[in-house]
């Protein structure tokens, strides 16, 4: 049995290093400088009290892999890159192998199910970062991460149990869920503040924006008849498994949106976080002005190649007022 990790960035890199260290057969799919680094040397993982150097084969495209019937494919790229990745998997001849969506948001699973029959959702709780080629960071301790896994849209099977067992044996923790999308909706509620953090900077005052953003989302879920589970590192049944620890000499870089701005990728996943709430709100007749505004703001910050902390709370509030009033909205220089 092999694990194919498509997208060896923050989450994919930590999972790849941990599984490889545990003796599992892992193949990575990466691009750019990360691909070059992993083809030239090991993948380095740094975590609280842990340093791992893992050597794993890494390719640029799924067509370079001769897929086997018992392969498991883990999608760990951002949602904005997911459809292209699925097309490449189809061209590579993938058919019935299980595809696991280790991604934020709830849009990846239905996208994958259009192309493949065996799709699974995975809720990822892992404070990971990728800032330089060949190295990934994870502040999770004592476990590197905690994962819920289950079939999409509902149920679970032996493949979910296999993946959970892999996590359990490699410095992580896996849980099989029959309604994994409820878990993923709970994680989406947490991720709705990613754009706020990126806009004003890690640790900066966000006022009551986080509470208002979440309140809009909960109203949308109720209108759509969608349940959610409370997840997070303070979950009473799991907080003993993972908390946020320190890596000497290494600051926290913030969430996935902040990391995308730091790398200057020009794209962020906000369209599939706050944008998911905007979409569901429009679909079910619920007004969600703040999530709609943040969907625009994430794209604007990325397009401007802005760094995290480009705005302060006052400027964020002024931009939102202009947005809701229908006035022209431009990012300050």
Q: pLDDT digit string (tens) for 8-43?
A: 999 999 999 999 999 999 999 999 999 999 999 999
Start-to-end Cα distance in the chain: 52
Model confidence pLDDT, tens digit, residues 202-212: 889 999 999 99
Banded model confidence at residue 233, pLDDT cuts 50, 70, 90: low
What is this structure's pTM? 0.95
Position 237 confidence tier, pLDDT thresholds 50, 70, 90: low
**DSSP H or E stretch at residue 87:** helix 82-91
Q: Please, are residues 274 and 212 in contact by the beta-carbon 8 Å criterion?
A: no
Query: Domain boundaries in the chain?
Result: 2-325
Q: Is the pLDDT of residue 107 over 80?
A: yes
Q: Which CATH number fits domain 2-325: 3.30.360.10, 3.40.50.150, 3.40.50.720, 3.40.640.10?
A: 3.40.50.720
| Residue 224 and residue 323 in contact, taking contact as beta carbons nearer than 8 Å | no
Share of the chain above pLDDT 90, in %: 86
In this prediction, residue 90 has a pLDDT band, given cuts at 50, 70 and 90, of very high
Q: Is the distance from CB of 311 to CB of 301 less than 8 angstroms?
A: no
β-strands 242-244, 140-142: how paired? Answer: antiparallel
Give tens-digit pLDDT for 51-88. 999 999 999 999 999 999 999 999 999 999 999 999 99
E runs forming strands in the chain:
2-6, 25-29, 43-47, 50-54, 58-59, 72-75, 99-101, 119-125, 128-132, 135-138, 140-142, 146-151, 173-176, 242-244
Taking only the tens place, the pLDDT of each residue in 138-187 is 999 999 999 999 999 999 999 999 999 999 999 999 999 999 999 999 99
Quick count: other Cβ atoms within 10 Å of Cβ 96?
A: 9
């Amino acid at each position: 049995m092999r694990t194919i990790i498509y997208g060896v960035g923050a989450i994919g890199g930590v999972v790849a290093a941990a599984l490889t260290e545990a003796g599992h057969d892992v193949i990575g799919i990466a691009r750019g400088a990360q691909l070059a680094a992993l083809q030239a040397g090991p993948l380095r993982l740094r975590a609280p009290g842990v340093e791992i150097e893992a050597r794993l084969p890494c390719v640029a495209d799924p067509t370079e892999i001769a897929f086997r019937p018992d392969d498991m494919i883990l999608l760990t790229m951002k949602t904005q890159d997911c459809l292209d990745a699925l097309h490449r998997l189809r061209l590579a001849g993938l058919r019935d192998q299980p595809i696991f969506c280790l991604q934020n948001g709830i849009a990846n699973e239905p996208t994958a199910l259009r192309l493949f029959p065996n799709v699974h959702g995975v809720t990822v709780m892992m404070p990971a970062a990728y800032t330089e080629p060949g190295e990934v960071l994870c502040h999770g301790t004592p476990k590197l991460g905690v994962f819920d896994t289950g079939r999409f849209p509902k149920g679970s099977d032996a493949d979910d149990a296999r993946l959970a067992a892999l996590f359990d044996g490699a410095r992580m923790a896996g849980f099989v869920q029959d309604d994994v999308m409820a878990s993923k909706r709970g994680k989406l509620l947490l991720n709705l503040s990613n754009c706020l953090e990126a806009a004003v900077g890690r640790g900066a005052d966000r006022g009551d924006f986080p509470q208002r953003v979440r309140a809009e989302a909960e109203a949308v879920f109720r209108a759509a008849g969608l349940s959610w589970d409370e997840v997070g590192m303070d979950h009473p049944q799991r907080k003993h498994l993972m908390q946020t620890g320190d890596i000497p000499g290494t600051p926290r870089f913030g969430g996935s949106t902040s990391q995308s701005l730091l790398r200057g990728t020009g794209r962020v996943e906000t369209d599939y976080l706050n944008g998911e709430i905007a979409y569901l709100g429009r679909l079910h007749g619920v007004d969600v002005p703040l999530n709609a505004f943040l969907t625009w703001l994430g794209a604007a910050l990325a397009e401007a190649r802005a760094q995290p902390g480009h705005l302060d709370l006052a400027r964020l509030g002024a931009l939102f007022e202009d947005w809701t009033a229908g006035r022209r909205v431009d990012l300050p220089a």
